[in-house]
Amino acid sequence: MGSSNTRLSPRQKMINLMYIVLTAMLALNVSSDVLDGFTQVEDGLSRSNANVTQRNDAILRSLEAFSLQNPDKGKPWYDKASEVRRITDSLYANVEQLKLAIVHKADGPDGKVNDILNRDDLEAAAVVMLNPGNPRGAKLRQSIDSYRSYIASLMTDSLKRSNIETALSTAPVRRKGVIGAQSWEESKFDNQPVVAAVTLLSKLQNDIRYAEGEALATLLSNVDAGDVRVNELNAFVIPQSRFVMRGGKYSANIVLAAVDTTQRPIVYVNGTKLANDRGLYELVTGKTGTFDYKGYLEVPHGDGSVTRHDFNSSYTVIEPTATVSATMMNVLYAGIDNPISISVPGVAMSGVSATMTNGTLTRNGDAWVARPTKVGSEAVVTVTASIDGRPQTVATTTFRVRKLPDPTPYIPFKDSNGNTDRYKGGKPISKTLLLASPGIEAAIDDDLLNIRFKVLSFETVFFDSMGNAIPEVSNGDQFSQRQKDSFRRLSRGKRFYISRVKAIGPDGITRDLAPLEVIVN
pLDDT tens digit string along 351-409? Answer: 899 999 999 999 988 889 999 999 989 999 999 998 777 888 888 889 999 989 999 99
Q: What is the mean pLDDT of the chain?
A: 83
Proportion of the chain above pLDDT 70, given as a percent: 83
Q: Are 114 and 187 in contact (CB under 8 A)?
A: no
CATH architecture of 235-318: Sandwich (2.60)
pLDDT tens digit string along 268-323? Answer: 999 999 988 778 888 888 887 788 999 998 887 655 678 888 989 888 777 776 76
Q: Which of 194-208, 224-238, 316-330 has the lowest mean pLDDT?
A: 224-238
Residue 104 Cα distances to 34, 101, 199, 340, 502, angstroms? 21, 5, 15, 86, 110
| Count of Cβ atoms closer than 10 Å to residue 408 Cβ | 19
β-sheet bridge partners, residue 453: 442
* Alpha-carbon span 521 to 432, nearest angstrom: 9
| Count of Cβ atoms closer than 10 Å to residue 319 Cβ | 11
**Spatial CA neighbour of 517 closest among 493, 488, 494, 496:** 496
* Alpha-carbon span 116 to 346, nearest angstrom: 72
Q: Where are the domains of the chain?
A: 27-227, 235-318, 323-402, 408-520
Q: In 145-288, which ranges are E strands?
A: 235-239, 243-245, 249-256, 266-269, 272-273, 280-284
What are the percentages of helix, strand and coil residues in the chain, rounded to 5? 35, 30, 30
Per-residue pLDDT at 113: 84
| Count of Cβ atoms closer than 10 Å to residue 218 Cβ | 20
Predicted confidence band of residue 16 (pLDDT cuts 50, 70, 90): low
| Count of Cβ atoms closer than 10 Å to residue 144 Cβ | 21
Predicted confidence band of residue 19 (pLDDT cuts 50, 70, 90): very low
What CATH class is the domain 323-402? Answer: mainly beta
* Alpha-carbon span 232 to 3, nearest angstrom: 75
